[in-house]
Homo-oligomer: A and B are copies of this chain.
């Protein structure tokens, strides 16, 4: 061992002891004849004092930033104590030292507020990982990992490894594939998730399974997506939705406790998918604050209970509202006194292509009880008041209204609500609010292919009441324009998402476990019988031999860690992440391969 102690453990009690430390040189400060060095390792920083007697050696063998050194010395009391660090009351009076390895000058400073840009830090990730900010993230990640494993173990879940070289069955995202040298012309796929395997394990009677496991999706990478990512993957047998919700809100609460020391004793709120979309314009609402959406005019619930027909706004001669499919409003607390410049800026914000609105209507609910809007020409103060009241605005609030095509407008109001929540400080990093979103639609309509796709995945079961609807109706969509009137539009799934502060951290479902229903599902998605057998024959087969009711959930581990760490970027919580082109710039991967490899795999390039 190169050391008797780490750089984080020596205290006043150790004064007088002779110790050997090893670590990295954080700083070197010379004061006349003596030199102070901060020595760093994973566990902390300890101050070293090199006295006059070492000056000759220090001149012969100078030490610099990031050098790795080993020192022997005596623990002594510091005259100038630093109470900000745990070792700050002592220092090491060095009697001898050796340089274990030198360091070139790092391309950026190894500090929280480094001067290195993103690209540079990625190329030298091994140096970036030394920074305390990054180290804290990986420590948090490990703490979450440990907490999850303990909870799962205590609840009788078994970690069972599922294979990585599996069969390509693309449905939804693209598979990464791996040519098989031993089976020329054939390919493995890397798993997008262990979905079918965990279901097979339930068929096999393993009862409770989990895994913290890498998954792979070959998708065009939006910001903050990674081609390989980690899931906490879980499955249980003989359970209903309620059992899953209880078990896994328990898991997240345990993580809060273990990792953040937060006692999350509140009941976890629940909301149907329809309510979430209606009230927040979004299926993963951030419920740390209100500012709910007022549907002034909206057909969203055509097939359900509510539609807003526009009574409050129609017929006033304001064409934008009259002609819009959808008009949605939010009441922004305390912003009635926004200046023209501020409302203009918000208008520009919603007109950006990412949001895509034509404009923004506002109503100021002045503290003196008057109302002032950008559409005074069309609406009397009385009418404005009625709208503001309906939006839940009180004196001092600012009502913002957008109008347009339903889907886009809904997204716009949701984005606007989140943006204002951020600007107003309503989305606090240290406040955590969980929400179950329930009763998702089983199907989504895929316009480009004029067919149904599974909203969650093809193994999700419909609500028991909706099974008959699914079985007894032809999935074919004869009139694309009226797909919402197809009975499949209203089938709800036994599916649930767990949302934390406006982010989906987990999602799952109760699964289909009957062969006939699973076959109907594949057919509903437009798969021929032959295709279903080719891709999922093993699962259909398994369902013939006593498949039990089962369900599960998968958590996005990277995302969960980043939210707990108060960061927007999952990349900060991955030791060796890839960039937006799927490249590891440190390794310079992917890269070309040898001719011999092509030959052995019996493939060649075929550029478009």
Closest to A548 in B: B68
| Size of the chain A interface, CB-CB below 8 angstroms | 127
**Would you give the 0/1 interface string for A173-192, flagging 1 where the beta carbon is closer than 8 Å to chain B?**
01111111111111111100
Among A236-244, A395-403, A414-422, which stretch is in contact with chain B? A236-244
Complex partner residue of A181 from B25, B174, B182, B587, CB under 8 angstroms: B174
Please state if B161 and A574 are interface contacts (CB–CB under 8 Å). yes
Q: With A166-B584, A204-B127, A590-B187 given, is the CB distance from A239 to B2 under 8 Å?
A: yes
Task: Give the one of A145, A201, A582, A589 with max B CB within 10 A.
Answer: A589
Q: With A146-B153, A544-B104, A605-B602 given, is the CB distance from A593 to B177 under 8 Å?
A: yes
**Would you give the 0/1 interface string for A566-593, flagging 1 where the beta carbon is closer than 8 Å to chain B?**
0000000011101001111011111111
Q: Which residues of B contact A575 (CB under 8 A)?
A: 160-162, 197, 201
> Does A288 count as interface, using CB distance less than 8 angstroms?
no
Q: With A184-B607, A238-B22, A590-B180 given, is the CB distance from A138 to B160 under 8 Å?
A: yes
> Does A377 count as interface, using CB distance less than 8 angstroms?
no
**Would you give the 0/1 interface string for A152-164, flagging 1 where the beta carbon is closer than 8 Å to chain B?**
0100001111111
Q: Complex: how many Å from CA A220 to CA B180? A: 11
Please state if A214 and B164 are interface contacts (CB–CB under 8 Å). yes
Please state if A603 and B606 are interface contacts (CB–CB under 8 Å). yes
Closest to A43 in B: B207
Complex partner residue of A182 from B129, B167, B220, B604, CB under 8 angstroms: B220
Q: With A158-B139, A205-B24, A220-B182 given, is the CB distance from A589 to B166 under 8 Å?
A: yes
Q: Which residues of B contact A161 (CB under 8 A)?
A: 214, 230, 574-575
Interface residues of A in 229-287 (CB under 8 A from B): 230, 238-240, 242-243
Interface residues of A in 465-506 (CB under 8 A from B): none
Interface residues of A in 522-541 (CB under 8 A from B): 537-538, 541
Please state if A238 and B2 are interface contacts (CB–CB under 8 Å). yes
Q: Which residues of B contact A100 (CB under 8 A)?
A: 548-549
Complex partner residue of A584 from B163, B177, B590, CB under 8 angstroms: B163
Q: Complex: how many Å from CA A605 to CA B159? A: 38
Complex partner residue of A42 from B24, B170, B187, B207, CB under 8 angstroms: B207
> Does A206 count as interface, using CB distance less than 8 angstroms?
yes
Sample of 27 A–B contacts (CB below 8 Å):
A3-B238, A24-B546, A68-B546, A68-B547, A101-B513, A101-B547, A124-B545, A126-B203, A129-B200, A138-B206, A160-B575, A161-B575, A162-B575, A162-B576, A165-B176, A165-B578, A166-B589, A168-B593, A168-B597, A175-B597, A176-B178, A176-B188, A178-B178, A184-B608, A187-B597, A603-B605, A604-B606
Give the 8 A-B residue pairs with the shortest CB-CB distance, closest first.
A103-B546, A167-B589, A129-B204, A186-B590, A2-B238, A42-B207, A66-B546, A180-B590
